[in-house]
Amino acid sequence: MNLYNAITALSLVINFLISLTIIFKNREKPEKSIGWLLIFMLIPFLGLILYFFLGRNWKSRNLKERLSPEMIDFVKTSLEEYAGPYKDMAKMVTIGNGSPMFSYNNITLYKDGVEKFEALIHDLESATHHIHMEYYIVKSDDIGRRIFDTLIRKSKEGIKVRFIMDKVGGRRFDKEYLKEIRAAGIELVTYSAHFASISKYIDTSINYRNHRKIIIIDGKIGYLGGNNIGDEYTGKSKFGYWRDTHARIEGEFVLGLQALFFDDFFSVLSFNEEAKKWEYDKQRQKYKREEDLSLYFPKNTIENYLPMQLVYNGPGTPYSTVEQLFLKMITSAKEKIYISSPYFIPSDSLMQALKVAVLSGIDVKIVFPEQYDHPPVGHASMTYIKELLDVGVEFYLYDKESFYHNKAIVVDTQISTFGTANFDVRSLYYNYEVNAVVYDELTSAKMEGLFYDDAAASRMLTLDEYNRRSIYTHLKESFFRIFSLLF
């Protein structure tokens, strides 16, 4: 037996053993199991490599799935019990994440990165005590350097600056500029999966990402939404105008963002120190745990009653609180459900809930990009869209000269959610995400207004148009659907 045959035989045996594990031990979702079985059958040796990088949940015990008791003590100081019409939903979120109701807040919505970044840089310049930022994609391009130059300047002024960067999302960041940032006193830590790195150069965490995008300034101002840090979010890319909702928040909800940030920051810090990663050898001395955390949780001064909760999840939990929120919102609807998402690969539960809603007479509308930034995901999404077109859901394809990255749901003009979670299985099961759920009619009406603006900039996709497309297009989309839970 030559070497090639020996390697092939060994890979087939390993594939068989992994297949048994997927089916009988891990009990993965049927679609995911079928996808991996097909990969092992079609490309045995390459399939092993793909499974090693994409199939294993390496970080099941990294970031916390609930606010820690220490953080809960800081965010409960001035909160009132919620007595509104969605008490059952609020209770579900509290049980899932430990998030209380944050009753008094102000929200400013931004429809794109141009609006958001201008407001953000002004707030960064005005910081007097600290700046905390956590982002998935971080680039050292024009907007990236404008932000980090501001952070460097504030750090040299004595402002405490901390930053969490995802290792996958920050892989293109200029390494020399990174040294300059750390030399200025900014405590920047890089998040990667638990047991993900087998060497300095090989990282197996590419399928599990910290997708959160949050900012806290002086414990009084918070930012949450879909914009990462990169020029494309200001419209400077081949995709053209980039439509994406981000929010500036003042009030008690900022305390929740602060608590989540501290839990994430110290979890990443502890893990990186424990793993003795090369770039963190002296981190313990540089990045010390705060002795007086109360300074980061100032007393709230906002008097506007606008109840909100923090909803977040990660791959380590046995269930997804974000998925539970989406399901609860859909099943609570009495008149209408408006969904915005750049990717549309829902779980079976969400698909059935939407079908039941529209068949019950609920007005269900969805805006989706006509231009894809990740074609395999876009192609797979179209097959799910077809299923909903069959039962009467209205689909709108956003301007093909732009990209639609908006992530929001509005129900009955009464309740809404926005944040980092897409309407897809990656956000529900693989990524660390964070959303705000807003129990406020005025804010939900504003969100609904943005949805109508998006629909007006879109064209409706009909079932007849979908069915008239080429056989090749249908086959391509069906092919990618097989692997949709692996993306």
Burial class (CB in 10 A: 0-12, 13-18, 19+), 114: middle
Alpha-carbon gap, residue 17 to 8, rounded angstroms? 14
Comparing CA positions, the residue from 47, 52, 53, 20 lying closest to residue 35 is 47
Alpha-carbon gap, residue 358 to 370, rounded angstroms? 23
H or E segment and range at residue 215: strand 214-217
183 within 8 A of 46, measured Cβ to Cβ: no
Rounded to 5°, the CA angle 77-82-83 comes to 145
Tokens 């390459």 belong to 46
Alpha-carbon gap, residue 174 to 114, rounded angstroms? 23
Among all residues, which ones are annotated catalytic?
Answer: 211, 213, 218, 405, 407, 412
CA distance readout (Å), 183 to 165, 171, 188, 282: 17, 19, 10, 13
Give the three-class secondary structure for 136.
Answer: coil
Comparing CA positions, the residue from 47, 224, 250, 255 lying closest to residue 135 is 224
DSSP 8-class letter at 197: B
CA distance readout (Å), 219 to 24, 73, 75, 188: 48, 15, 11, 19
160 within 8 A of 133, measured Cβ to Cβ: no
> Is the alpha carbon torsion for 165, 151, 72, 305 positive or negative?
negative
Alpha-carbon gap, residue 135 to 364, rounded angstroms? 32
